[in-house]
Structure 1
Amino acid sequence: MNRTTTFVIFYGAVFLQAGAYGLTFMLPRLFETFGANEKAVGSMLFITAFSTLITVYFAGHLTDRFGRLGMLGVGCVAISVALASYAIADGIGGWVIQASVLLGFGWGLTYALAPIALTTLISEEQRVRGFAILAIAVMAGFGLSPVLASILMNTGFSLNAAFYINSGLSALSAVSFFTLIKPVHRHAQQSESQIPSRLSFGSVLCILNSPARLPIIMVCIGASVFAGLNNFQTVFADERELNYADYFLVYTITVVIFRLVLARFKGGRNPYLTIAFLQYIMFGSVALFLVIGNNVPLYWLAAFLFGIGYGVSYPMLVAMVARDADNDLLAQTLQFFALSYFVGIFGFPLIAGWLIVEMGTSALLILAALLAGAEATMALIRALSGKSSV
């Protein structure tokens, strides 16, 4: 297998398994068939968060023993079983709890290890482009799986069919990662043993005392905004008689196009200033959600702006954490970055679900806007401090 084919299969495998997270955006609809509300969705995703955090922390220990590509394959198998379990479930019980735990385990492995595996294949100068393409593959999977679910439901299939289909795609992703073990080893620019992966209390302290601390905090805040807006987008759209598939389609197309166009863009001379600008756009998009009512063009505009703000700033933030990390702690820093991301992605829905049930969707949007504004301001302060220029 040549180097180009290796990259194509790697990114393709990432795309196939990424749809699993996109289907968590459909959990409110699935749980509605159980007679459960948004609080139950948040509670199950909190179980997923707990499973994910444990997995991410010990991912390095597993990969040092079994290899990154092998553990990526194992993670995809877990995701496949998780999605099938959601499809089988007919109420809040054992199947759903099993699915939540396995989803956290699988997604924790795949999301944390994919960028680390990529670092063995690319040089430092190629990181921004490599991470951007990786983010495109992930985001395309995120955004298109809810659209697939909508198409299936509109053509007479049940929502469960989308979970079964994505379960099969995740299994195919697992086969792809297992197939890549030898090619990645052959084309690696540095061996896995040169990049130790284990997180420890000492390494976490070193990371928190490094400049990488800021992007790690920022990604948690941004992930919370992303989770609040996307995990309950079906609820928001139904409440305003909008089509949630429109949001996911516009958002996904925007992110993919802009990430492709800007794949080589490193943020200019002051990357944190660029990140701040993009995240203020994200703040504006969330604020727009508060006033759009049932206006479809404004709904598309809000999705478009969120795609630019969050979608374009995220890979730059990944590049910044890699740049700000100590060289001998790069793998651990990327894992800790992923761990912080998952705190927001799977932890925040517990708060969001409670807010929707007790206070309504507007309360959630106000909180999300405040978080987006805070994250943008953190980037701006870093940019103006003079410590972010390259």
Structure 2
Amino acid sequence: MRPIHAAILLIGVLLASGGYGATFLFSMHVRAIGGTDFDTGVALAGAALGTFAGVSLTGWVAQHVGAARMAALAALCVGAGVVGFALMAHASDIDALPGFLVGLGWGAFCLAAPMALAERTSDADRSLWFVRFATFQMAGVGGCPALAAFAMRFWRMPLEGVLYAIGALCLIGALTLEIFGRLARVQPAQERWLRSIGAIARTRAVYPIVIIALGGCVFSGLMTFQMSLVQGTQAKASTFFSLYTITVIATRWLLARLVVRMRAATATKVLLAMMVLGSAAMFAVPYHAGFQALAAVLLGTGYGLAYPIVQVQAIDDAAAAHRRAALTWFVAAYFIGAFGFPSLGGWVLVHSGKGALLALIAGCGLAALALAILRDRRRGGSLSASA
């Protein structure tokens, strides 16, 4: 990976990720045009549906146009969805359409961009580049709403104008990613990810795929239900969100080289253990609000750093012919955990209370840690060989 190529890629990632960060502004826009939280939910449901569609289509389309160009098209799709949402003058069920476009683009981007990076990095330096990639991605997602709030407060920009500007940045990001693909050319791989599941399941790649699904459950559980979890305490949900975002960006930027130098399996287990401790810290929030800050920092450090490391493990543990498929299943597993868990978690919260929900979240974290330990014991390339 040449430095100039890497810089172009990371700029594109930052701008495209900012488009997804705009989804945090959707509820504000819906209220401004006379809608309710239900209308916001419709838009986000469309985004969730679009995400899975984007993941499913990317592998097939990337075979024909290349992963880098697919990432560029995905960034365009995200931008089109954001602009489409800004154009909505009245809240209605049609809000699901721009939400679907954003989700379609984001699902495709979360697979195509790492795929393009994996094709252009060696096994030796892939971990470092994936941590850097994840840093810029998180900076875009978390930084966009913050910059939008700054622009509306100090520059007096209307919300619609901010959304149009974000759409324009997605366009620039798409052009940047297209330039990256043209400068760092590779031959598109031919692989059908659905048919490869059997081959992947026989290798250690199956472990990181399941681990990230469980990690997505922990992440979405603590983020989605944070307001309910801190209700009746001195803690505020906004504190958790802010500390988590800052921690993820800071640790990925400052600790990337340290984590990469560690043995990957050891780093994964340490980071997942921190994620479990972050879940456990939430049990003590009713006794002192400081435990919420501790939980945010532990989750941001543990899960935030573990994600790119586990992603690289999924790629490296698969056979060379099935690496694209392994990456596809990895991204799909993450979204299944992130979008699927809130339904189960909401049912547990309503019927059994906050303690049961936290126990379920912590259980998912412990299961992920147990799988990381099992993976480390499977020394062979396949499950059958190491049984």
Name the TM-score, length of structure 1 as normaliser.
0.82
Amino acid at match of 1:94: I
Q: Deviation of residue 251 (structure 1)?
A: 1.9
Q: Does 1:332 align with 2:325?
A: yes
State the one-letter code of the partner of 2:122. S
Match of 2:127 in 1: 128
Q: Provide the rounded CA distance (Å) in 1 between the counterparts of 2:18 and 2:325.
A: 26
Structure 1 residue 289, shift from structure 2 partner? 1.8
| C-alpha distance in 2 between matches for 1:300 and 1:154 | 27
User: Post-superposition shift, 1:181?
Assistant: 2.8
Cα distance in 1 for partners of 2:141, 2:363 equals 24
Structure 1 unmatched ranges of 5 or more:
none
**1:173-204 CA-partner distances (Å, limit 9, x unpaired):** 3333334434433334xx133x33x4343222
Q: Which residue of 1 aligns with 2:101?
A: 102
State the partner residue of 1:302. 295
Whether contact under 8 Å (1:116, 1:334) holds in the other structure is yes
Q: Contact 1:82–1:103 (CA<8 Å) still a contact in 2? A: yes
Match runs of 1:1-390 below 5 Å: 3-24=2-23, 34-36=35-37, 41=41, 45-87=44-86, 88=88, 91=91, 93-95=93-95, 97-148=96-147, 161=159, 165=162, 168-188=165-185, 191-193=186-188, 195-196=189-190, 198-233=191-226, 236=229, 240=233, 242-264=235-257, 265-266=259-260, 268-269=262-263, 271-293=264-286, 295-355=288-348, 362-386=355-379
Query: Which structure has more RCO (C-alpha within 8 Å, separation ≥ 6)?
Result: 1
SS at match of 2:284: coil
SS at match of 1:293: coil
> Do the aligned partners of 2:16 and 2:174 also contact (CA within 8 Å) in 1?
no
Cα distance 1:15–1:285, how it changes in 2: closer, same or farther (>3 A)?
same
Amino acid at match of 1:187: A
Instruction: Indicate the percent of aligned positions where both proteins have the same amino acid.
Output: 27
1:349-386: CA deviation from partner (whole Å, max 9, x where unpaired): 33345555666655543322221121112112323455
CA RMSD of aligned residues (A): 3.4
Distance in 2, matches of 1:7 and 1:306, equals 28
Q: 1:27 to 1:239 in 2, by over 3 A?
A: farther
CA deviation vs aligned residue, 1:267-314 (integer Å, no higher than 9, x gap): 634x33431222121111122223213844332222111111101111
Total equivalences in the alignment: 377
SS of 2:37's equivalent?
coil
Provide the rounded CA distance (Å) in 2 between the counterparts of 1:136 and 1:296.
Answer: 28
CA contact (8 A) 1:76 1:170 kept: no
Q: CA deviation at 1:220?
A: 1.0
User: Normalising to structure 2: TM-score of the pair?
Assistant: 0.83
**Structure 2 Cα separation of the partners of residues 351 and 20 of structure 1:** 28
Shift of 1:144: 2.8
